[in-house]
Structure 1
Amino acid sequence: MSSSKKIILKTLDGGTIEILDEIALESKTIKHLMELEDWPDNVIPLPNITGRILAKVIEYCNEHIGDEDEKGIEKLESDGDFVKVDKDTLFEIVLAANYLNDYLNIKGLLVLTCKAVADKIQGMSVGEIRQYLNISFNFSPEEELHIRREEQLAFE
């Protein structure tokens, strides 16, 4: 299926990015929108993603046009440089990949970024992981004891 329509993704910060037909056609959702006669302005709003992060996602998509899931996952090693970004950017890409997976069929990006987070927290203590992931610990001593007892029972 070839498309003469331009596919434009509109970001949270008001920017727009035009994507290649090959990327758009990976998505059943976008493919369906392209078939609609009354699709307004060929624009897909992405209210949860900034232009900076969407540009990274599209960079990944351009490198992986036509990859099947298995090929995308096999490329994790060669994609290592892609995830060499600061922690906040990595987390934003994870969230964007999760949000856009249905739109752009980018399971490989989601796997890649989640693996990068897992690699970073490997070997950390629970406290270090909480700090790294910015998870607050708001349990009372009684609640914590209850949770620890439940966890202990689960692993017996």
Structure 2
Amino acid sequence: MASGKGEKKMITLKSSDKVEFEVEEAVAMESQTIRHMIEDNCADNSILIPNVNSKLLSIVIEYCTKHAHAAKLEDAAPAPANAAIGGEDLKKWAAE
């Protein structure tokens, strides 16, 4: 995949039960474990997560996606109202 403007680098995460999830690199980087693997060049575009099944990995990906998008919202419009709305959404999701 060319890394042109606007294109997002994708990473494939593979669960212990061999289910693959394709996610944006920014989302994957929300996990410190995966971030270290990427930063240490221990992973190309596919990362095996051997101790996590697909059900749990899907929840982790959803969590990371919410946090990555909230951070992007804060970066795009750091107005207090936008940060508060993003923060409330995260709190509500986490409570569920």
Q: TM-score range by the shorter chain?
A: 0.5 to 0.7
Question: What secondary structure is seen at the aligned counterpart in 1 of 2:63?
Answer: helix
The match for 1:6 is 10
2:67 to 64, 67, 76: 64
Structure 2 match to 1:19: 23
Number of residue equivalences: 71
Alpha-carbon offset, residue 50 of structure 1: 0.7
TM-score w.r.t. length of structure 1: 0.36
Q: Distance in 2 between matches of 1:31 and 1:25?
A: 8
On the 8 A contact 2:14/2:47 being kept in 1, the answer is yes
Structure 1: give runs of 5+ residues left out of the alignment.
82-156
In percent, how many aligned pairs have the same letter?
A: 28
- Aligned Cα root-mean-square deviation (Å): 3.3
For the pair 1:44 / 2:20, whether they are aligned, the reply is: no
Q: How far has the Cα of 1:39 moved from its partner?
A: 4.8
Bigger radius of gyration among the two: 1
Q: Structure 2 regions of 5+ residues with no counterpart? A: 73-83
Alignment partners' CA distance in 1, 2:56 and 2:10? 21
Higher helix proportion (structure 1 or 2): 1
The CA distance in 2 between the partners of 1:53 and 1:24, in whole Å, is 14
Question: Higher strand fraction: Structure 1 or Structure 2?
Answer: 2
3-state SS of the aligned residue for 1:48? coil
1:29 aligns with 2:36: yes
The structure, 1 or 2, with the larger RCO (C-alpha pairs under 8 Å, 6+ apart) is 2
Superposed displacement of residue 51, structure 1: 0.7
TM-score, normalised via structure 2 length: 0.54
Point out the more displaced range, 20-29 or 5-14.
Answer: 20-29
Aligned equivalents of 1:59 and 1:16: distance in 2? 14
Q: Which amino acid aligns with 1:46?
A: I
